[in-house]
Chain A
Amino acid sequence: MLLVLVEDDSGAVSGASREALALAHELATKLDVPVHAATFGTGEFTTTLSAHGASVLHRIEGPFADDCSPEVRGAALGELIRSAGATGVLAAGSEWGNEIMAHAAARTGEAFASNCVEVDAGREWSLTRVRGGGMLLEEAELSGAVKFVSLVPGSVEPTEVTAPGEVATESFVPEHVDDLVHSKLVERTTSGTGASLATARVIVSGGRGVGSAEGFASLEELAGLLGGAVGCSRVATNSGWRPHSDQVGLTGTKIAADLYIACGISGATQHWVGCMGAKSILAVNTDPEAPLVSRADYAVIGDIHQILPAVVERARERKKEVQGAV
């Protein structure tokens, strides 16, 4: 049986988890085994699971509501894997997914291939995973009684099956997590305001060319107008212009926006691997030879401090025209 760890996104199966389900179905068909799902969430997932060909949903219950540590969740998942007899475990390669998979793999003493983009099942599993945030691809063989794999979000089509079946729900209460030495969640603050970098549709991002913390005002304005988020390069955080939580890159956030507007960012490898997941990139830079300008889909050559205010003004006018027309 192949088990998919399903992430709860406001009561629904997360998009990245649906991709993991689709891949699990493909591998399970080849191996001639069923697909089960496991979750710590409380959403009604069975319709989606059925559409992806899963036959059983294991609800892992116990003190897992909201205040639970990654150690306990990982151990609980590990216990389910053993008791239900999974031979492969798949999850989305989100921070959350990778952490719990690492715990479950460590507890069961099995190997874990994180951030895969292609997986083929056999006695050993052949896979391709991303290294260094995407600077290189690694082809690898995964062996062991239970194979753990996480998938880079967006690497598989979340295809649905042609003949959906029934999904049985079973509850699983782990027995061996009480004596575990673990951390506990003591505080949680929800930021809530504005679009987050990881999920924003459009990101306006600035680098060395912005020149100062104040220089980000026009980026904020454009992002606000487009309903997007503001990002930055490592230079901007290291210069103290922006908080690290705004950083796009290898050691910051990896984004998957529809449009990434890079202002005054030359595009070192460290930054490129963070923004290459965007569907389109628009680079605004004084240097037509900057690496990000050559890698971008669109470019404007010139000073961002002249270009951005003009873009904001024209976009405002266009918005008014459209509203006027309606």
Chain B
Amino acid sequence: MKVLVCIKRVPAPGGKLSLTEDGTDIDTRHLGFTIGPHEECAVEEAVRLVAEHGGQVTVLSAGPPEVEEQLRYAMSMGANAGVLVEQSAQDPEATARALAEAIGTLESEDGPFDLVLLGNESADAGNYQVGVRVACSLGRPVVGGVKGVEVGAEGTDVFLRRESAEGIEVYQAPLPAITAVKEGLNLPRYPSIQGRLRAKKGPVRTLRPEVPQGGLRTVRLRQPPEKSKETVVLGYGADAADSVVDLLVEKGMV
């Protein structure tokens, strides 16, 4: 089967993020970057699916030329080829248009991807919609929040499992399909030395789709207000148990 994974380059999680002077973006000068946690699981899942069913994993990322770093990382995990979609607009509609157009270009050359995997929401912008928009413009089924992917015995359907407020839901979707996955789907591997060497030489092609901006325009970013009050220390060690229980009683928990 042919599997495509869309990944995003995001600031590595860690301390507080600094902003540029005009406040329109994150100051990236001293930051490390990584693949979003949901998307790292998507890459792992794609590599496992292809190991089981045969086929090819292509990994694609929209953004500045630097996203090649994340494409190479995904290839070191086992993806076969990378596609860099050079794009400056960051709003969710423009991103989805760029992805859909790039997928269209790739599919017009080599036929459709059986499955396209994305992260449920990006770790930085968190717009919760790019996967749905891509599916809508390609006219394919899509299920989000997925933590389990299984290809049906006939190879014509995929079963997608997710957690809901009430319990577990399983959806069946005809292939080709799209799914937006979440961390917890699997535990992503740490790339091997051989994988890293292979990824260095693996093919990465660049596409430059022209897409209009969408209707959500970022004006500026700002830090959320910090709590200014002091922490009340209830005590040290087991001696603090009484004060903790007092607090629990005060909150109506005991």
A186: interface (CB < 8 Å): yes
The reply to whether A300 and B133 contact each other, CB–CB distance below 8 Å, is: no
Considering only residues 84-99 of chain B, those with a C-beta below 8 Å from chain A are 91-93, 96
Please give the distance in Å from A106's CB to the nearest CB on chain B. 4
Bound complex: CA A7 to CA B233 (Å): 41
Binds A, one of B44-52, B62-70, B214-222: B214-222
A311 within 8 A of B: yes
B160 within 8 Å of A (CB atoms)? yes
Chain B residue at minimal CB-CB distance from A105: B129
B114 part of interface (Cβ distance < 8 Å):
no
**With a CB–CB cut-off of 8 A, which chain B residues contact A126?**
219
Let me know if B235 and A259 touch, CB within 8 A.
no
Whether B241 lies near A102 (C-beta < 8 A) is: no
Q: Say how far B106's CB is from chain A's closest CB, in angstroms.
A: 20
Q: Does A189 contact B (CB under 8 A)?
A: yes
**Which parts of B221-244 form the interface with A (CB within 8 Å)?**
221-224, 227, 229, 231-238, 240-244
Contact between A293 and B231, CB atoms less than 8 A apart: yes
A244 touching B184 in the complex, CB below 8 Å, given contacts A102-B132, A302-B240: yes
Residues 28-60 of chain B: 1 if any A CB is under 8 Å from the residue's CB, otherwise 0? 000000000110000000000000000000000
Interface-centre pick from A113, A150, A181, A318 (highest chain B CB count, 10 A) = A181
Tell yes or no: B127 within 8 A of A by CB.
Answer: yes
The range of chain B's interface size is 35 or more
| Interfacial chain B residues near A270, Cβ < 8 Å | 13
Chain B residue with minimal CB distance to A106? Answer: B136
Q: B72 at the A/B interface (Cβ < 8 Å)? A: no
Is A162 close to B, CB under 8 A?
no
Name the A residues within 8 Å of B123 (CB-CB). Answer: 132, 250-251
A17 → chain B, closest Cβ, in Å? Answer: 13
CA distance A269 to B15 in the complex (A): 6
- B153: interface (CB < 8 Å): no
**Which residues from chain B contact A225 at a C-beta distance below 8 Å?**
254
B143 partner, pick from A70, A144, A314, beta carbons under 8 A: A70
Q: What mask results when residues 35 to 74 of chain A are scored 1 for a CB within 8 Å of chain B, else 0?
A: 0000000000000000000000000000000000111001
B125, B177, B242: the one within 8 Å of A314 (CB)? B242
Chain B's closest residue to A100 (CB) is B132
Measured CA separation A114–B184 after assembly (Å): 23
Q: Is A98 an interface residue (CB 8 A)?
A: yes
Q: Are B169 and A185 in contact (CB under 8 A)?
A: yes
* Residue of B129, B141, B219, B234 touching A298 (CB-CB under 8 A): B234
List, in ascending order, chain A residues with CB within 8 A of B242's CB.
Answer: 314
Given contacts A113-B216, A186-B171, A280-B251, contact A252 B183 (CB under 8 A): yes
Instruction: Looking at the assembled complex, report how far the CB atom of B117 sits from the nearest CB atom of chain A, in whole angstroms.
Output: 15
- A195 contacts the other chain (Cβ, under 8 Å)? no
- Interchain CA distance A19-B196 in the complex, whole Å: 50
User: A130 near B: Cβ within 8 Å?
Assistant: yes
CB–CB B171/A282 < 8 A: no
The verdict on B167 contacting chain A, using a C-beta distance below 8 Å, is: yes
Q: How many A-B residue pairs have CB under 8 A?
A: 260
Contact in complex: B187, A238 (CB < 8 Å): yes
Interface size on A, residues (CB 8 A): 100
Identify the stretch in A25-33, A135-143, A163-171, A205-213 within 8 Å (CB) of chain B at 4 or more residues.
A135-143
> Contacts A186-B171, A314-B242 known; A142 to B216 CB distance under 8 Å?
yes
Closest A residue to B171 by beta carbon equals A183
Contact bitstring B117-141, A, C-beta under 8 A = 1, else 0: 0000001111111001101110111
A182 to B223, CA, bound (A): 40
Known pairs A251-B37, A252-B183; A182 contacts B238 (CB<8 A) = no
Which of A82-90, A153-161, A196-204 is near enough to bind chain B? A196-204
Q: Check A183/B177 contact, CB under 8 A, given A99-B128, A106-B132.
A: yes
The minimal Cβ–Cβ distance linking A230 to chain B, given in whole angstroms, is 15
Would you list which residues of chain A between 284 and 322 have a CB under 8 Å from chain B?
A: 288, 293-303, 306-307, 309-311, 313-315, 318-319, 322
Q: Are B136 and A188 in contact (CB under 8 A)?
A: no
Known: A136-B223, A251-B123, A318-B245. A183 touches B231 (CB 8 A): no
Chain A residues in 8 Å Cβ range of B9: none
Which residues from chain A contact B231 at a C-beta distance below 8 Å?
283, 293-299
With A106-B136, A137-B223, A302-B238 already in contact, the answer to whether A111 and B170 are too (CB < 8 A) is: no
* Complex A-B: 15 CB contacts under 8 Å: A71-B141, A103-B136, A105-B133, A136-B17, A136-B223, A137-B222, A139-B221, A181-B140, A183-B171, A188-B164, A280-B251, A282-B234, A298-B233, A298-B234, A313-B241
Beyond known contacts A140-B216, A307-B240, A307-B241: 20 more, CB 8 A cutoff? A98-B129, A103-B136, A106-B132, A107-B136, A114-B127, A133-B126, A135-B17, A136-B26, A136-B221, A182-B141, A247-B184, A259-B248, A297-B232, A299-B234, A301-B235, A301-B236, A306-B238, A311-B244, A315-B245, A318-B254
Binding site for A on B (CB under 8 A): 13-17, 19, 26, 37-38, 91-93, 96, 123-129, 132-133, 135-137, 139-145, 147, 159-160, 163-174, 177, 182-184, 187, 214-224, 227, 229, 231-238, 240-245, 247-249, 251, 253-254
